[in-house]
Amino acid sequence: MSDAKKSSLALAFAMFFQRGLAMISTPIFTRVMKSEQYGEITNFTSWQAIIFIVATLNLTQGVFNNGMLEFRTDRDRFTASVVVLANLTTIIIFGVYYLFTPIFAPLLGISSPLMLLMLFYMLFYPSYSYWSCRQRYEYKYKMLTVLTLLISVAQVVFSIIAVLMVQPEQQGYAKLIASESILIIVGIVFFIRTFYKSKFQIKKEYMKYSFTFNIFLVPHFLAINVLASGDKVMINSMVGPSETAIYGVSYTAASVISIFWQAIEASWTPWLFEHLNAKDTKPIKKRANQIITFFAGISLLCMLFAPEIMYVLASEEYLEGIYIIPSVTAGVFFTAVYALYMRIEYYSKKTKATMVGSIIVAIANILLNYIFIQKFGYYAAGYTTLVCYIFLAVFHWWYSRRIGMKNVYNDKYIVILSVTMILTSLFITFTYTHIVLRYTIILMILAVGCIFRKKLVCQIKQILK
């Protein structure tokens, strides 16, 4: 087995274990905690994801893989320089927040102690993220896999203990403090390690390179997180925390398939960059087709088993959320589609126009949510987000062609598969009230899988090759 294959399989296992623990623990939290408390956690994590981008420039995305390729002989100092740049940005952003707390606090709906917790998280945890990115880029999966498993177990165990030890009205605080503290402690260890490895040296050139590259991507990353988290924030303010909790659990159930994409992309990105760098584009089309087809199949299974997933994850008060899963799952599929094209833009260092499309989509998502959540309820958020992800995929397809990278992928095949996914998501929603029809479809898919199992296994091996 190649190092890339070993890395993909190990990281996939670690991510499955991590998400599996989260899914196993979710029924505990949803049954022990009131939906209002769970809604507060969803609100915190939603805002954290958005603030993280601005406060750290989201340097783990975009520039870091380029830096691993461009500064391959000086990766330690590059990483340390990135950490310093991210910390300086974090201090400035949170300094502004504390100067204008009376304005920002009501908007965020997060208490001062939790904002302080978020500050420490953003100062230290990114150091572990940079180390993780480098491990994936270099196909060094052993230590990363072990640490991912240990951190996951520690977060779940300490969160459950914390929730069970406090009063019901404090359970949201307890869970957040327990889980975030684990990440902060890990971050501090890798913060120290980063500067020790670099001999406490940084280069301004690396900081300037990273800032120039990612500053134009910040609006893009922010827009993507608005698409992923903004709907929860808007549901919380427009409808209520209980509905936010239902939507949040459904979103989590649908997003579980992102594990597959994260595992694939961890090895896909360096493989793609190296082939583009060597101007060897012939194998890329075949591999991309295999990857996106495999991901479409996983998305289809998630939609079909949505009722069973929700029965396992939550109590009866959350079951109405099953109708959210198909639209959200289709949206996650389109994040994979646009990611294929966006990686080409990253390699080409053509990122300025990327933010334009993302900003337009984010604004459209806010407007669509505002209109349709009022008209059809929080269910509409899944479909408005899907529409925006489709537009984003189309934009990146168009822009990749504009910068001269139009022959990298089989665009016709990806379009056909994407249209099929949209129609399938609409049809499967109808089958939730027709259980015989749904299970007939599931049995047919399993039968086809059994008949073509050898070919299927071969294709999966090719994906991880």
pLDDT at 417: 93
Residue 71 identity (one-letter amino acid): F
Q: Where are the alpha helices (DSSP H) in 321-353?
A: 325-348
pLDDT at 111: 86
On the question of pLDDT at 23 being above 80, the answer is no
Cβ 279 vs Cβ 313: under 8 Å:
no
Question: Percentage of the chain with pLDDT > 90?
Answer: 26
Give the integer Cα–Cα distance in Å for 352 and 321.
38
Give the integer Cα–Cα distance in Å for 110 and 112.
7
pLDDT tens for 384-432 read 989 999 998 999 899 888 888 888 888 899 999 999 999 999 899 888 8
Q: Which residues, 6 or more positions from 205, have their beta carbon under 8 angstroms from its beta carbon?
A: none
**pLDDT band with cut points at 50, 70 and 90 for residue 215:** confident
Give the integer Cα–Cα distance in Å for 14 and 10.
6
pLDDT tens for 269-293 read 777 887 888 787 788 888 888 889 8
Residue 391 identity (one-letter amino acid): F
Give the integer Cα–Cα distance in Å for 297 and 421.
9
Q: Which residues, 6 or more positions from 173, have their beta carbon under 8 angstroms from its beta carbon?
A: 111, 113, 114, 166
Three-class DSSP category at 363: helix
* CA atoms 237, 238, 244, 247: torsion sign: negative
Average pLDDT, the chain: 84
- How many helices (H) and strands (E) the chain has is answered by 21, 0
Give the integer Cα–Cα distance in Å for 440 and 425.
17
Which secondary structure element, helix H or strand E, spans residue 368, and what is its range?
helix 354-376
On the question of pLDDT at 31 being above 80, the answer is no
Give the integer Cα–Cα distance in Å for 283 and 408.
9
Least confident of 46-55, 107-116, 242-251, 353-362: 242-251
Least confident of 41-50, 205-214, 362-371: 41-50
Give the integer Cα–Cα distance in Å for 116 and 240.
25
Residue 273: Cβ within 10 Å count: 19
On the question of pLDDT at 181 being above 90, the answer is yes
Tell me which DSSP letter residue 168 carries.
Answer: G
On the question of pLDDT at 457 being above 90, the answer is no
Give the integer Cα–Cα distance in Å for 225 and 244.
16
Give the integer Cα–Cα distance in Å for 107 and 51.
13
**pLDDT band with cut points at 50, 70 and 90 for residue 462:** low
Instruction: Give the closest residue to 385 by CA, choosing from 423, 323, 302, 329.
Output: 329
pLDDT at 3: 66
pLDDT at 354: 76
Burial of 401 (0-12, 13-18, 19+ CB in 10 A): middle
**pLDDT band with cut points at 50, 70 and 90 for residue 131:** very high
pLDDT tens for 286-313 read 888 888 988 898 899 888 888 888 877 6
Residue 154: Cβ within 10 Å count: 17
On the question of pLDDT at 314 being above 70, the answer is no
Three-class DSSP category at 422: helix
**Angle subtended at Cα 20 by Cα 14 and Cα 24, rounded to the nearest 5 degrees:** 150
Which carries the bigger pLDDT value, residue 290 or residue 263?
290
Cβ 13 vs Cβ 146: under 8 Å:
no
pLDDT tens for 348-372 read 877 777 778 888 888 888 899 888 8
Residue 295 identity (one-letter amino acid): F
Q: How would you classify residue 199: left for phi > 0, otherwise alpha for psi between -120 and 50, otherwise beta?
A: left
- Segment of 38-42, 43-47, 154-158 carrying the highest mean pLDDT: 154-158
Residue 123 identity (one-letter amino acid): L
Angle subtended by helix axes 453-463 and 435-451, to nearest 10:
80
Give the integer Cα–Cα distance in Å for 262 and 264.
6
Give the integer Cα–Cα distance in Å for 273 and 261.
17
**pLDDT band with cut points at 50, 70 and 90 for residue 379:** confident
- Segment of 57-66, 185-194, 225-234 carrying the highest mean pLDDT: 185-194
- Segment of 180-194, 213-227, 355-369, 448-462 carrying the highest mean pLDDT: 180-194
Burial of 344 (0-12, 13-18, 19+ CB in 10 A): buried
Residue 65: Cβ within 10 Å count: 21
**pLDDT band with cut points at 50, 70 and 90 for residue 322:** confident
N-terminal to C-terminal alpha carbon distance within the chain: 8
Q: Where are the alpha helices (DSSP H) in 57-168?
A: 63-70, 75-99, 101-108, 112-137, 142-165
Buried b / exposed e along 83-111 (16+ C-beta atoms within 10 A)? bbbbbebbeebbeebeeeeeeeeeebebe
Residue where the block lists tokens 């750290």: 56
Which carries the bigger pLDDT value, residue 437 or residue 406?
437
* Report field, pTM of the whole predicted structure over 0.85: no
